[in-house]
Structures are given as structure tokens and as C-alpha cells.
Amino acid sequence: MSVPQRRRAVLTGMLALAGAALASGAAPLPEGPWPDATVIRGEHYVVMGHRVPAARLADLAARTERARRTVAAIWGPVRPVVLFPETDAEAGALAGAGATGGLAALATADRVIVLPDGYGRLTETGRDVVLAHEITHVATGATRGGRVPMWLSEGFADYVGYSAAGLGVRTVASELAAEVAAGVLPDRLPGPADFAPGAVRLAQAYEEAWLACRYVAGRFGERTLVRLYGGDVGTVLGLTPAEFTAGWRDYLRKELG
């Protein structure tokens, strides 16, 4: 399945802002931000819409439940709260975020906020990936105040997000695959600056992080990847940072070369 460039751009932008919002510690939102909200309460999730057509909100609820199951299967139980505002401006205000142009969704510490414009432009698969990615951030506590490296928090959210998408490695990591095919391999795992909005290799940073997590799951098992969240490669994997980086680079060569 091909992924239009536009979807990738929207998805990547969304991921970047999600990280930014979490890093800045956006204040928890009130339980019900809108007096005239439409609420769909599932057994394990709550979806709230503000002047959103009923069919669109019902679609979001179904996707939220599906994404919740995806996250639960890998990480563990989570009870997501997802807000669907009327406008992007309203979403930005709820999140305490600045510019949200081109983004599709973001996560605060305890809920997911849909950005109607960007979300509406995503493919069906893109919407599921975005929701599972953001719900993963809520479930894991994302970077936990910087104690979890960004390659792991973003890579793990994408690992879960793409786990049920049925997309090939080269499709998801198309930008990085083009570099590797041209003989260029990254020499280190991506850091916070690489995930900054507007970073030149932002798409590749997410792809590098995703493949680092995929490498861990493939070599050590998915349960070990989950244990790595909050641990470190030395104690959990028995590798030095240099050995881990070398193993990841070999994996990139094998998967994308």
C-alpha cells in the first residue's frame, strides 16, 4: 500500500507537536471542556465531540476502541479520553499548544486531542496509526519528564501505532530507505533536536526511532522492548550504547539496504 507524501507530512508534523506538548507539560484539561459536548462513553474509553457530526464522532469512537486494543495488547491496559473539537484553533487552545497547522492529533499528559483539519486529510490507516501512537504516549507517560529518551518514546509510539497497520517497512520508512539505498546510514540515534518541529530530517528521525524499537523487538522480543521503556540498553539488553548503535545500524542496512 502506498502512502501519499501528504499523509506522511501530516503524520510527521502531528508526531512532532505531540512530543512538544508533552515536553512542555501542558496542563491537564478539565473533564468536560464543553457544556454542549456530545459524549460517547465506551467500556474502556471516552470520546467527546464539540459540534462534530454524529457519524464522524461514532467513527472516531470505533477507531479509539481499536487503537486502545492495539495499545493494550503490547503495553497494557489504558482508558483513553479523546477530544474532537470543532476547529484546530479550539484544539490548540485546549492543548495549550501554539501553532497546530498541518497536524492531525496530539497528546497531553492524560488525553488525546484531534485536530480536525489534519485528521480529516489522513487516510483510514493514517487515522488508526495516529490514534494508537497518541494513546501509547498517554499510556506510557511519553518521555516521563525526560527520563525516557525521545528515540524510545517516539519509536515505541510508532512501533505500537504501525503494529496493526499492515504497511511494509520501506513504505513506513520511505525517506530513510532512500538515504540508506544511497549509501548513507545515520551514525547515532536521533535526539531531541532531531524531533524539533521543522527539523530537516524530521521524517527520518521518526523512522530511525521506529526501526530502533523494531530492532529490539525482533532481536530480544517484544516483552523486552516494553521492559526497555524506563530501563536502559545496558541493564535490559546487556549491550553497551556503542554495541546497541552498531546493531541498529546493521538492522537498518538489512531492512532498507
Please answer whether residues 154 and 20 qualify as being in contact, where contact means their C-beta atoms are separated by less than 8 angstroms: no
Q: Which stretch binds Zn ion (CB under 5 A): 8-16, 25-33, 94-102, 229-237?
A: 8-16
Residue choice 3, 11, 15, 233 for contact with Zn ion (CB under 5 A): 15
- The C-alpha atoms of residue 36 and residue 117 are separated, in whole angstroms, by 21
Half-sphere CA count of 36, side-chain side, radius 13 A: 4
List phi, psi (to 5°) of 68: -60, -45
Residues 90-129 that bind Zn ion (CB under 5 A): none
Q: How far is the CB of 138 from Zn ion (least distance, A)?
A: 11
Phi and psi based region of residue 50 (left: phi greater than 0; alpha: psi -120 to 50; beta: remaining): beta
Q: How far is the CB of 137 from Zn ion (least distance, A)?
A: 5
Which one, 10 or 239, has the nearer CB to Zn ion? 10
Which one, 63 or 249, has the nearer CB to Zn ion? 63
Site string for Zn ion, 150-189 (x = CB under 5 A): ----x--x--------------------------------
Which one, 154 or 194, has the nearer CB to Zn ion? 154
For residues 192-214, one letter each, b for 16 or more C-beta atoms within 10 angstroms of the residue's C-beta and e for the rest, the string is bebbebebeebbbbbbbbbbbbb
The residue with its CB nearest to Zn ion is 18
Count of residues interacting with Zn ion (CB under 5 A)? 4
Please answer whether residues 195 and 202 qualify as being in contact, where contact means their C-beta atoms are separated by less than 8 angstroms: yes
Q: How far is the CB of 47 from Zn ion (least distance, A)?
A: 20
Residue choice 11, 17, 18, 135 for contact with Zn ion (CB under 5 A): 18
Question: Which whole-number Å values give the CA distances from 169 to 73, 185, 246, in the listed order?
Answer: 21, 16, 20
* 74 touches Zn ion (CB under 5 A): no
Which one, 48 or 129, has the nearer CB to Zn ion? 129
Half-sphere CA count of 254, side-chain side, radius 13 A: 11
- The C-alpha atoms of residue 110 and residue 8 are separated, in whole angstroms, by 25
Which one, 114 or 239, has the nearer CB to Zn ion? 114
Which one, 15 or 233, has the nearer CB to Zn ion? 15
Binding site for Zn ion (CB under 5 A): 15, 18, 154, 157
